[in-house]
């Protein structure tokens, strides 16, 4: 696999640490996008610099997750949020009560929407700010 493919995947899947490691190596010109990933010598990494890059989040990665919050026995809301706590707080603010539970789902989970199938990862691209309600599901429907 080439560095450019791996780096692209790190950004796509919001792998904060790996993306910043790759960014550092590219910025220092210790690797190029056309290098083979297997040939990278990670001993070249200045871990202190990478730590600073991550703390300042120079790549602007904010991993938005998807959570299922149970409203009643059969009703669930899916909420995009950075953390479980943020999803619960948003739910409380929106519906004025505490959810019965809250579980994280994979962004790659696919669901039917109309006649099409869409993943939460692709659905997330439709939103500009977070937290946000992705949808509602009624069990047994």
Predicted TM-score (pTM) of the model is: 0.73
Q: Specify the 3-state DSSP secondary structure of 62.
A: coil
106-115 pLDDT, tens digit each: 999 998 888 9
73-109 pLDDT, tens digit each: 999 999 999 999 999 999 999 999 999 999 999 999 9
> What's the chain's length in residues?
141
Element (H, E) at 90: helix 84-95
In angstroms, rounded to a whole number, what is the distance separating the alpha carbons of residues 53 and 109?
31
- Radius of gyration of the CA atoms of the chain, in A: 19
Which residues, at least 6 apart from 28, have a Cβ–Cβ distance to it below 8 Å?
44, 46
Inter-residue long-range contacts of 35-39, CB under 8 Å, 24+ positions, other chains counted: 35/2, 35/3, 36/1, 36/2, 36/3, 37/1, 37/2, 37/3, 37/5, 37/6, 38/1
């Amino acid at each position: 696999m080439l560095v450019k493919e791996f780096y692209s995947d790190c950004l796509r899947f919001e792998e904060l640490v790996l993306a910043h490691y790759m960014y550092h190596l590219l910025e220092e010109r210790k690797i190029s996008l056309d290098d083979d990933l297997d040939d990278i010598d990670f001993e070249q990494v200045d871990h202190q610099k990478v730590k600073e890059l991550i703390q300042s989040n120079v790549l602007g990665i904010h991993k938005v997750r998807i959570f299922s919050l149970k409203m009643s026995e059969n009703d669930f809301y899916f909420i995009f949020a950075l953390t479980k706590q943020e999803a619960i707080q948003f739910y409380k603010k929106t519906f004025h009560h505490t959810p019965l539970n809250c579980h994280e789902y994979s962004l790659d989970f696919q669901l039917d929407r109309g006649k099409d199938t869409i993943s939460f990862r692709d659905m997330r691209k439709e939103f500009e700010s977070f937290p946000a309600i992705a949808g509602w599901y009624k069990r047994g429907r």
